[in-house]
């Protein structure tokens, strides 16, 4: 995989460089609530602009249905990129139409433009190879060189991620090169003990990575909504907690395999429960109760790991040499159910291990809860992409950059 360093050595002055970024930031009433993904692409955009490239930044945002939708406009992201760069960033109000061509055509060396949401065109996400290829051809007309730097999208076989690199000289940006280098440390020649912390709502989202990591990890700690399927598999009452009954056989099989391989599965020993899901808008006091993990009342819902589990998990991470964490331990958006996630984040900071926060809600939680991002070994920008890489899957966007 050729990287941006090789491109910069070749020279980009005056060239139109298409940067496929991941500006898929969360918005609330048009305001960005977490700009982490925009900041992640800054090193690549800055390096290209400073080398005299005409930088064309493209991304998706949300899930518009193949047509323009103001609710998913990239304009707020373009404005924030300009603020972070300390320079004006032009914005094209379409993807491959007149506005895009005029905006790109008006760039001087060292200037940056953002084109509108790629998913406003049905060709971006089409399952039809010909339709995707046609859209990729239209995008290629805007550039001389392609730089892939949207790690959060490399697991998607989309036009701007998979088809476009084949039509232009292509390179991996700083972010993708960094992400791949970090993930290799979690799969090749791993320093041990290797501890994995998995949380989030659905166990089905994590079965693939559990399957793969059973061959690599020394211990796997489970939290979040997915923990209740594990507890149910052990025969415990889980009340009205999140539960995927259909995954219980798979969970039992994984626990059996882990025991045979000497991989330690660590489950909650106590949980915070409530009869009502918390109001995340008002964040009104929830007044949870702490109960043993095997004594959840039938009319209560588990919403966070308890204090004893927090201590247990911290002890299981204390001597680790490598830690990968993906998924919160509870409903961290509400202060009454954030302590479990805080405890795991703090445990990562307290260890001397190489620590990786695997994107998605985990990365959002780290920022929301006020932790210093730079204190962690690495915070990934792609939750789904990170998990699929760790599952051993071929990621279309990376394969396209390697070809």
> Is there a catalytic annotation at residue 316?
no
Confidence at 316, pLDDT banded by 50, 70, 90: very high
pLDDT score, position 298: 96
Q: Which of 37, 132, 232, 342 is labelled catalytic?
A: 37
pLDDT at 282 exceeding the cut of 90: no
pLDDT score, position 244: 96
Query: pTM for the whole thing?
Result: 0.88
Q: In the 8-state DSSP scheme, what is residue 328?
A: -
pLDDT at 381 exceeding the cut of 90: no
- What token pair was written down for 142? 């805007």
> Is there a catalytic annotation at residue 202?
yes
DSSP annotation string for 163-229: IGGGGS-EEE-HHHHHHHHHHHHTTSS--SSEEEEE-SS-GGGTHHHHHHHTTT-SEEEE-STTHHH
Q: Which of 173, 330, 383, 384 is labelled catalytic?
A: 384
Q: Mean of the pLDDT values across residues 359-375?
A: 86
Confidence at 149, pLDDT banded by 50, 70, 90: very high
pLDDT score, position 270: 98
Q: Mean of the pLDDT values across residues 259-268?
A: 96
Q: Which pairs from 65-68 meet CB under 8 Å and 24+ separation? A: 66/119, 66/120, 66/121, 66/122, 66/124, 66/125, 67/120, 67/122, 68/94, 68/116, 68/117, 68/120
pLDDT score, position 56: 98
Q: Which pLDDT tens digit goes with each residue over 319-340?
A: 999 999 999 999 999 999 999 9
Lowest pLDDT segment from 118-122, 191-195, 276-280, 304-308:
276-280
Q: Mean of the pLDDT values across residues 251-268?
A: 96
Q: What is the CA 12 to chain-centroid distance, rounded?
A: 30
Q: Mean of the pLDDT values across residues 224-249?
A: 96
Alpha carbon separation from 76 to 46, 115, 190 (Å, rounded): 19, 12, 40
> Residue 55: which H helix or E strand, with range?
strand 54-58
CA-based nearest residue to 196, from 373, 23, 355, 44: 355
pLDDT at 308 exceeding the cut of 80: yes
pLDDT score, position 28: 87
Q: In what order do the strands lie in the sheet with 112-115?
A: 89-92, 112-115, 54-58, 16-20, 145-148, 170-172
pLDDT at 353 exceeding the cut of 90: yes
Confidence at 384, pLDDT banded by 50, 70, 90: confident
pLDDT at 268 exceeding the cut of 80: yes
Q: Which of 148, 200, 360, 383 is labelled catalytic?
A: 360
CA-based nearest residue to 271, from 248, 238, 243: 238
Place of tokens 């239209």: 138
pLDDT at 373 exceeding the cut of 90: no
pLDDT at 359 exceeding the cut of 80: no
- What token pair was written down for 249? 């056989």
pLDDT score, position 171: 98
Q: Which of 167, 202, 216, 311 is labelled catalytic?
A: 202
> Is there a catalytic annotation at residue 106?
no
Whole-number CA gyration radius for the chain: 22
With b meaning 16 or more CB within 10 Å and e meaning fewer, what string describes 74-93? bebbbebbbebbeeebbbbb
Lowest pLDDT segment from 328-332, 353-357, 390-394:
390-394
pLDDT at 60 exceeding the cut of 80: yes
pLDDT score, position 176: 96
Asked whether the beta carbons of 310 and 341 are under 8 A apart, the reply is no
Lowest pLDDT segment from 50-64, 74-88, 129-143, 272-286:
272-286
> Is there a catalytic annotation at residue 384?
yes
* H helices present in 98-167, as ranges: 98-105, 129-140
Percent above pLDDT 70 for the chain: 100
- What token pair was written down for 40? 């992640």
Percent above pLDDT 90 for the chain: 84
With 0-12 / 13-18 / 19 or more C-beta atoms within 10 angstroms meaning exposed / middle / buried, residue 318 is middle
Confidence at 392, pLDDT banded by 50, 70, 90: confident
**Which residues are CB-neighbours of 314 under 8 A, at least 6 positions away?**
343, 344, 346, 347, 350
pLDDT score, position 286: 84
Q: Mean of the pLDDT values across residues 153-166?
A: 97
């Amino acid at each position: 995989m050729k990287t941006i360093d090789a491109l910069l050595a070749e020279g980009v002055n005056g060239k139109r460089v298409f940067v496929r970024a991941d500006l898929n930031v969360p918005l609330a009433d048009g305001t960005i609530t977490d700009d982490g993904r925009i900041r992640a692409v800054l090193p690549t955009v800055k390096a290209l602009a400073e080398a005299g490239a005409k930088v064309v930044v493209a991304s998706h945002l949300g899930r518009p249905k193949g047509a323009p939708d103001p609710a998913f406009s990239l304009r707020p992201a373009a404005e924030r990129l300009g603020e972070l760069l300390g320079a004006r960033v032009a914005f094209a109000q379409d993807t491959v139409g007149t506005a895009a061509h005029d905006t790109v055509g008006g760039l001087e060396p060292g200037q940056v433009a953002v084109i509108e949401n790629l998913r406003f065109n049905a060709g971006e996400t089409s399952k039809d190879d010909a339709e995707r290829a046609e859209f990729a051809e239209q995008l290629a007309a805007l550039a001389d060189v392609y730089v892939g730097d949207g790690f959060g999208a490399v697991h998607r076989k989309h036009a701007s991620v998979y088809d476009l690199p084949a039509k232009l000289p292509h390179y991996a940006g700083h972010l993708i090169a960094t992400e791949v280098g970090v993930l290799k440390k979690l799969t090749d020649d791993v320093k041990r003990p290797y501890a994995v912390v998995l949380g989030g709502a659905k166990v089905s989202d994590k079965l693939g990575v559990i399957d793969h990591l059973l061959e690599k990890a020394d211990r796997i700690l489970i939290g979040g909504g997915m923990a209740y399927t594990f507890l149910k598999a052990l025969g415990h009452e889980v009340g009205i907690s999140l539960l995927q009954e259909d995954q219980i056989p798979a969970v039992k099989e994984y626990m059996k395999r882990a025991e045979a391989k000497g991989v330690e599965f660590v489950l909650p020993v106590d949980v915070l429960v409530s009869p009502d899901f918390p109001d995340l808008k008002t964040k009104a006091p929830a007044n949870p109760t702490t109960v043993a993990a095997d004594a959840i009342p039938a009319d209560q819902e588990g919403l966070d790991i308890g204090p004893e589990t927090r201590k247990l998990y911290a002890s299981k991470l204390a001597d680790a040499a490598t830690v990968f964490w993906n998924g919160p331990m509870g409903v961290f958006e509400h202060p009454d159910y954030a302590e479990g996630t805080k405890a795991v984040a703090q445990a990562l900071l307290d260890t001397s291990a190489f620590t990786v926060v695997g994107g998605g809600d985990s990365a959002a939680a780290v920022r929301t809860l006020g932790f210093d991002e730079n204190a962690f070994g690495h915070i990934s920008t792609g939750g789904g992409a990170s998990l699929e890489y760790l599952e051993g899957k071929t990621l279309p966007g990376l394969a396209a950059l390697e070809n």
